[in-house]
Structure 1
Amino acid sequence: MLGKTYDSQVCSIARALEVIGERWSLLIVRDALFGGATRYSDFQRSLGVATNILTARLDGFVEAGIMRRHRYSEQPELYEYLLTDKGRALAPALVALTEWGDEWATDSEPPILYTHSVCGAGITQHTVCEHCGRVEDPAEIQATFGPGMPPERIARKA
């Protein structure tokens, strides 16, 4: 999707951006997750994105395992794009981005509310400590090296 712009980054955020970081990508996933879009025409109608860009994004999602193509008609041959588990796992990130946008990117009331389909209560996304529970202050969040960090990178930071 973004090419190889983040090759020098040893970071899962950079890796995620390589797959879902293009301008229309998260909106396509949003429409699939929360709007029920599955067909090319659904995405085109909802987003108004150029056909070449939509085709490239959907093909990239299939290649990355975020969506799978399923033929729903043989004559004419037509496909729908269905989210995989990997694609559905983006839901918490989209809820978090929505909350950020509601707080920091608009002066009006939230245009979309997420609710739990089982009980109707609101859905929110939180940062949670495994020991203490919800973390309110981002200053309390510390990034440390994980097991996937190459030893030579750790040595350069020390």
Structure 2
Amino acid sequence: MLGRLYEGQNCSVAKTLELVGERWTVLILREVYFGHRKFDEIAAGLGIARNVLTQRLQRLQEEGVLTKVAYQERPQRFEYRLTDKGLDLWPVMVTLMQFGDRYYAPDGPPIVLTHRDCGGTLDAHRTCTTCGAKLSATDVRVHAGPGAQPQAA
């Protein structure tokens, strides 16, 4: 079994892969970027084992990518929010999504991101194709795209 560390490599890509290269981690972040912040929402969106999700969320918290915030006292419930460090990964997520849309989505993108203010889409540089604004994770809405498939019941 391969380890998750790239010891002896003085490389920022290797260091980043130690975090986001774990199975499920990028998909967990996708769910949070798309507005699913509660444990059960994330689990349902992924079909991930609860113990694996717990471990990955804990690691993302330890690395300062997510923070855990109580939203209910009795019973105590939490949601996971992106930190500034987590928001800084958004361009990577969009680039991965656009790459997948181009090469692995023959029926069209399953998800479309639009600018909250004007409804325009994002170009390859995360700029709104309608108004020209440079967009961040907080500037977009998530919609089902032409390649979306119905959820299994």
TM-score range, shorter chain: 0.7 to 0.9
> Corresponding residue for 1:121?
120
Instruction: For 1:118 and 1:4, locate their aligned partners in 2 and report how far apart those are by CA, in whole Å.
Output: 41
Measured in 2, the distance between the counterparts of 1:87 and 1:5 equals 20
Gaps of 5+ in 2: 127-153
TM superposition score normalised by structure 1? 0.72
Q: Provide Cα deviations, 1:9-29, integer angstroms capped at 9, x if missing partner.
A: 221111111111112111111
Aligned to 1:38: 37
CA distance in 1 between partners of 2:31 and 2:74 (Å)? 26
- Assess if the C-alpha contact under 8 Å between 1:96 and 1:124 holds in 2: no
Counterpart amino acid of residue 59 in structure 2: G
1:72 partner amino acid: Y
The Cα shift of 1:123 comes to 1.0
Segments ≥4 residues shifted beyond 4 Å: none
TM-score, normalised with respect to structure 2: 0.75
What is residue 103 of structure 1 aligned with on the other side?
Answer: 102
Contact 1:116–1:122 (Cα < 8 Å) also in 2: yes
| Mapped contact 1:38–1:81 kept (Cα < 8 A) | yes
Partner of 1:144: none
Q: State the SS of the aligned residue for 1:9.
A: coil
Amino acid at match of 2:22: E
Greater relative contact order (Cα < 8 A, sep 6+): 2
1:5-154 equivalence runs, <5 A: 5-34=5-34, 36-126=35-125
Q: 2:133 maps to what in 1?
A: none
| 1:126-151 per-position Cα deviation (integer Å, ceiling 9, x unaligned) | 39xxxxxxxxxxxxxxxxxxxxxxxx
Instruction: Measure the CA separation in 1 of the matches of 2:88 and 2:123.
Output: 15
Q: CA deviation at 1:106?
A: 3.3
SS of structure 2 residue aligned to 1:114: strand
How many residues align structurally? Answer: 125
Q: Measure, in 1, the Cα distance between the counterparts of 2:41 and 2:32.
A: 9
Say whether the 8 Å CA contact 2:4–2:22 is kept in structure 1: no
For the aligned residue pairs, the C-alpha RMSD in angstroms reads 1.8
Q: Percent identity?
A: 42
The one-letter amino acid of 2:44's match is R
Q: Which deviates more from structure 2 when the two are superposed, residues 54-63 or residues 2-11?
A: 2-11
**Structure exhibiting the larger radius of gyration computed from Cα positions:** 1
1:29 maps to amino acid: L
Query: Partners in 2 of 1:80 and 1:94 — Cα distance?
Result: 21
